[in-house]
Amino acid sequence: MEKTGIQHKKALPVRPVERLTPEQTRAIDGASKKLLAETGLCCAGAKAAGVYHAAGCRVEEAGDDKQKMWKVYFPERLLQKALSGVPSTVVLGARDPRHTLLLQADLPHVYFGTGAEANIYLRSRMDKFVSTADADRVLHHPVYQEEPGSLAALADAARLVEQLEHADFFIRNVNIQDPEINKANKDVNVFFTSLCHTTKHVQGGLSELEALPAVISLARIIAEEQPYLPFSFIVCPVRSPLFMVSDSSEKVLAIAREKIPMVISTSPQGGVTAPIQEEGITIQTNAEILAGIALAQFANPGAPVLYGAVPVRARLDTLEDCYGTAEFSHYAMACVQLARFYGIPCYASAGVGDANRPGIQATVEKMFSYKEVAAAGAHYIHYAFGLLDGTNIFSPLQAVLDNASIALVKELLRAPDFDREEIAAAVREIDKNVKGSGMFIRGIRRQLRRKVVSSTYEFSSDGEEDQVLLRAQAKLEHCLAAETKALPADTISRVFKEIPGLVSK
Amino acid sequence: MSKDELLAKLEHSIVMGHLDADDEGFDGTMEGTPGTLELLEEALKAEIEPGVLVESFRVAMGKVGQLFEAEEYNLADMLASAECVGKAMEIIGPALQAVSHSTKGKFLIATVEGDLHDIGKNIVATMLKGAGYQVKDLGIDVPAATILQEIRAYKPDYVGLSALLTSTMVEMEHVVRLIKEENIPGLKVFIGGAPTSQEFADKIGADYYCRDVREALDKLEEVSKVS
């Protein structure tokens, strides 16, 4: 526990890499505020427009007979006032309080978790392949089966995250498409299935605003006496460029009024819905998030929010999202820096790529963003486990591989931790061994206890065959066979009694 | 303290890699408490027979081996325990010879001429001592003539040659040829070092190639069982 006195999971502390100079950061801040003051935000939500107006923004009607719309202009002073009231600390509870996440804007401590809502769940199993030239030559390689997302797949994903050592939180990562699921009951089923199968923090979107009371009740039943609810929301109120959607803006207002932690997210696509160059997309992303955060603060000052930038670049051949390029990390790093500039805990993205099956391409693409975005000091890195083909596929096997990669990144980013005493001890050690055996083996134990000696790659191979996938699949099967830390039976029974729409599977 | 208690403490201190009172041991709690060397001194004062001491070393290293197999200990831990035994053996060696207690065999080890690398060789030497072999380490950059001279004088059961440079592999071949020309019955030659391989060992006529210290120990155990 740190000085807050809140029991929480230890995060990865980093000394942040600053991609932008202080001048560039201030310039982007100024440009985003200028955009909001002069270009303004199109707002399709009457309630949101009313809140902005009541707070002091200039709001002008801009719609037509078909669609009501308002143009909202933000005086810089007003925006600044809203930002100054944003809590710099956000606590995200968990069923097991040891998994509680403590996000403090001024402390660049990093957590990793899942993300997206993939339509495809990619099952895998190992198969043997025999050389047609030499029957003694056998290789092991996975074969894959794509299936639509389902409650069962979501449950498996949550159970897997429960077992993965470096997964700190679970964002519902599979889009449930079971026939029993409809718009009205989707949210309660997503949160219930997730909370049932992991004791880590659970986060998700809200498909239907009407489901909010039921989801909150569900979380309260599960949390029992715990001070922090085990869940939070992601809301994306702005459709790029600078257009606030009615439905999502109402979700921001409702969640803010409940003081449930919420990510204010936006995901512009560089080259299509935002400029492709770093400064352009960063200015726009920042403006869109500031507008969303301001809405939450105007609705309920002090509402806990995360600065949720998810900028991505367009592929030049298809104009679809492109994650496996340097820009994905550049954009994210710049936004992490801006969140720190405003003193708001930061939600960022890393670990997505363009490969559609586990393997070398996936690992390479993911590794760069894990390292760079974590080094920038993002507090809460989503998308980090199992995503393939951008965010279209969730592969449990890839999630296990990602867990091992994140382990290496955590070691890589470990800050040097020594003082004068450690330096004196090192000198004594060198002196003793120079005079003695010449081998420093005895020193290794002490440094292992200090946790300053890294582990080797989890899935190292023996011999000539690359056995990484084979070993990762074995770990996956082991994780999924582990006993679920299920909710107590009386809690489940109470949930089913009090929460309508739950599907029993 | 009874002799049995003393032996149990000695065995524990080896398992914990606790060399002496300055050393903190495997779990970092043992600094300031008597280590292997202090306990050995006490055991010798208590007139515990060298053969009994060697047996307790063997039992301790057996436990260390099990902990290594169970992945609770890493190789550095095992080496620290082996170092305890090695240092202890240096102290009781003369007394041991006086009462005719044999070790597992005599091992002569050297890095061949032209090569100044000794890390691998030192690790092997330490582990062999810990495992109960009597080891003579000739050091680094050792000319062939010196190695032959020492073989004649020391009469080892095994010779271990190390090289880290591809350029010194030639010298290794030269030394092995000279040793084989001596035609010493039962003498087995082991080679190791990064550029060497089983193919190279076969080519130059060495009896065994060892990829690492674990393989060296395993092969030696096999050979000593046969002989």
Per-residue H/E/C for A242-280: CEECHHHHHHHHHHHHHCCCEEEEECCEECCCECCCHHH
Digit-coded pLDDT (tens) for A288-338: 999 999 999 999 999 999 999 999 999 998 899 999 999 999 999 999 999
Inspect the interface and report whether the beta carbons of B79 and A439 lie closer than 8 Å: yes
Rounded to the nearest angstrom, the minimum Cα separation between A449 and chain B is 8
Cis peptide before A241 (omega within 30 of 0): yes
Q: How many beta-carbon contacts under 8 Å exist across A and B?
A: 33
Q: Which residues of A touch B129 (CB under 8 A)?
A: none
If we measure between CA atoms, which residue out of A196, A182, A191, A181 comes closest to residue A212?
A191
User: Which tokens hold the place of B81?
Assistant: 């325990």
User: Which tokens hold the place of A195?
Assistant: 């909370």
Query: Same CATH topology for B3-98 and B106-226?
Result: no
Best mutation target, B13, B16, B24, B85, to test chain A (most A CBs within 10 A): B24
The kind and range of the H/E element at B61 are helix B50-69
Rounded to the nearest angstrom, the minimum Cα separation between A447 and chain B is 10
What Rg do the C-alpha atoms of chain B give, in angstroms?
A: 18
Which residue spans within A356-442 are E strands per DSSP? 380-382, 387-388, 393-394
- Report chain B residues touching chain A, CB-CB < 8 A: 17, 19, 23-24, 26, 28, 74, 76-77, 79-80, 83, 118-119, 122-123, 126
Q: Quote the pTM value.
A: 0.87
Compute the C-alpha angle A304/A306/A307, nearest 5°: 135
- Specify the 3-state DSSP secondary structure of A124: strand
In this prediction, residue A437 has a pLDDT band, given cuts at 50, 70 and 90, of confident
CA atoms within 13 A on the CB side of B20: 7
What does the pLDDT read at residue A454?
94
Inspect the interface and report whether the beta carbons of B79 and A438 lie closer than 8 Å: no
Dihedral sign from CA coordinates of A95, A97, A103, A108: negative
Mean pLDDT of A423-439: 89
Question: Do the beta carbons of residue A349 and residue A372 sit within 8 Å?
Answer: no
User: With pLDDT > 70 as the criterion, what percentage of chain A qualifies?
Assistant: 99
Mean pLDDT of A161-176: 97
CATH class, B3-98 region: mainly alpha
Cα–Cα dist A236/A238, whole Å: 6
Cα–Cα dist A152/A502, whole Å: 14
Q: Which amino acid is at A66?
A: K
What does the pLDDT read at residue B97?
63
Q: Which residues of A touch B126 (CB under 8 A)?
A: 437, 439
Inspect the interface and report whether the beta carbons of B77 and A445 lie closer than 8 Å: yes
Q: Which residues of A touch B18 (CB under 8 A)?
A: none
Q: Distances in Å between the alpha carbon of A147 and those of A42, A98, A159, A395?
A: 39, 34, 18, 11
The kind and range of the H/E element at B174 are helix B166-182
Mean pLDDT of A465-482: 96
For A441, the closest of B28, B76, B118 (CB atoms) is B76
- Domain B106-226 is found in CATH 3.30.420.40: no
Residue A417's Cα: distance from chain center in Å? 27
Which residue spans within A100-183 are E strands per DSSP? 101-104, 109-112, 120-130, 138-148, 169-171
In this prediction, residue B227 has a pLDDT band, given cuts at 50, 70 and 90, of low
Inspect the interface and report whether the beta carbons of A445 and B119 lie closer than 8 Å: no
Digit-coded pLDDT (tens) for A64-84: 888 899 999 999 999 999 999
Residue of B nearest to A455 (CA): B74
Inspect the interface and report whether the beta carbons of A437 and B23 lie closer than 8 Å: no
What does the pLDDT read at residue A253?
98
What does the pLDDT read at residue B102?
55
pLDDT at residue B100 tops 50: no
Digit-coded pLDDT (tens) for B21-74: 988 898 889 999 999 999 999 999 999 988 889 889 988 988 998 898 898 998
pLDDT at residue B99 tops 70: no
For A281-285, the CB contacts below 8 A with 24+ separation are A281/A311, A281/A331, A282/A28, A282/A311, A282/A331, A282/A334, A282/A335, A282/A338, A283/A28, A283/A31, A283/A32, A283/A35, A284/A32, A284/A35, A284/A240, A284/A241, A284/A242, A285/A309, A285/A311, A285/A331, A285/A335
For B80, the closest of A438, A441, A449 (CB atoms) is A441
User: Which tokens hold the place of A319?
Assistant: 């104009």
Residue of B nearest to A437 (CA): B122
Rounded to the nearest angstrom, the minimum Cα separation between A195 and chain B is 35
For B76, the closest of A437, A444, A449 (CB atoms) is A444
For A445, the closest of B26, B118, B119 (CB atoms) is B26
Best mutation target, B30, B67, B73, B74, to test chain A (most A CBs within 10 A): B74
Question: Do the beta carbons of residue A442 and residue B17 sit within 8 Å?
Answer: yes
For B122, the closest of A438, A442, A449 (CB atoms) is A438
Rounded to a whole number of angstroms, the distance between the first and last alpha carbons of chain A is 38
For A441, the closest of B28, B79, B118 (CB atoms) is B79
What does the pLDDT read at residue A1?
43
Mean pLDDT of A447-455: 90
User: Which tokens hold the place of B184?
Assistant: 């010493």
Inspect the interface and report whether the beta carbons of A444 and B17 lie closer than 8 Å: no
The ipTM assigned to this model is 0.74
Please return the burial class of A490, using the count of CB atoms within 10 Å of its CB with bins 0-12, 13-18 and 19+: exposed
Inspect the interface and report whether the beta carbons of B80 and A437 lie closer than 8 Å: no
pLDDT at residue A201 tops 60: yes
User: Which tokens hold the place of A193?
Assistant: 């299935």
Digit-coded pLDDT (tens) for B107-130: 999 999 988 877 788 888 888 988
Compute the C-alpha angle A156/A158/A164, nearest 5°: 100
Question: Do the beta carbons of residue B81 and residue B14 sit within 8 Å?
Answer: yes
For chain A, the maximum distance between any two Cα atoms, rounded to a whole number of angstroms, is 90
Rounded to the nearest angstrom, the minimum Cα separation between A445 and chain B is 6
Mean pLDDT of A94-114: 97
Question: Do the beta carbons of residue B109 and residue B133 sit within 8 Å?
Answer: no
Digit-coded pLDDT (tens) for B72-81: 998 889 889 9
What does the pLDDT read at residue B167?
82
Question: Do the beta carbons of residue A366 and residue A385 sit within 8 Å?
Answer: no
Mean pLDDT of A265-281: 97
Which residue spans within B143-185 are E strands per DSSP? 158-162
CA atoms within 13 A on the CB side of A12: 31
Rounded to the nearest angstrom, the minimum Cα separation between B88 and chain A is 14
Question: Do the beta carbons of residue A395 and residue A122 sit within 8 Å?
Answer: yes
Mean pLDDT of all residues in chain A?
A: 95
Residue A26's Cα: distance from chain center in Å? 26
Question: Do the beta carbons of residue B158 and residue B220 sit within 8 Å?
Answer: yes
What does the pLDDT read at residue A333?
98
Cα–Cα dist B76/B58, whole Å: 18
Mean pLDDT of A93-116: 97
For B23, the closest of A442, A444, A449 (CB atoms) is A442
Inspect the interface and report whether the beta carbons of A437 and B122 lie closer than 8 Å: yes
Mean pLDDT of B82-88: 89
Cα–Cα dist B187/B173, whole Å: 16
Digit-coded pLDDT (tens) for B183-225: 999 999 999 988 899 999 999 999 999 988 888 989 998 988 7
Question: Which residues neighbour B56 within 8 Å (Cβ) at sequence distance 6 or greater?
Answer: B7, B10, B11, B14
Residue of A nearest to B83 (CA): A437
Digit-coded pLDDT (tens) for A113-149: 999 999 999 999 999 999 999 999 999 999 999 999 9
Residue A322 is classified by DSSP as E
Cα–Cα dist A263/A107, whole Å: 18
Question: Do the beta carbons of residue A308 and residue A270 sit within 8 Å?
Answer: no
Best mutation target, B30, B83, B213, to test chain A (most A CBs within 10 A): B83
- Specify the 3-state DSSP secondary structure of A192: helix
Q: Which residues of B touch A437 (CB under 8 A)?
A: 83, 122, 126
What does the pLDDT read at residue A65?
80
Query: What are the residue ranges spanned by the domains of chain B?
Result: 3-98, 106-226
Q: What is the 3-state secondary structure (H, E, C) of A17-76?
A: CCCCCHHHHHHHHHHHHHHHHHHCEEECCHHHHHHHHHHCCEEEECCCCCCCCEEEECCH
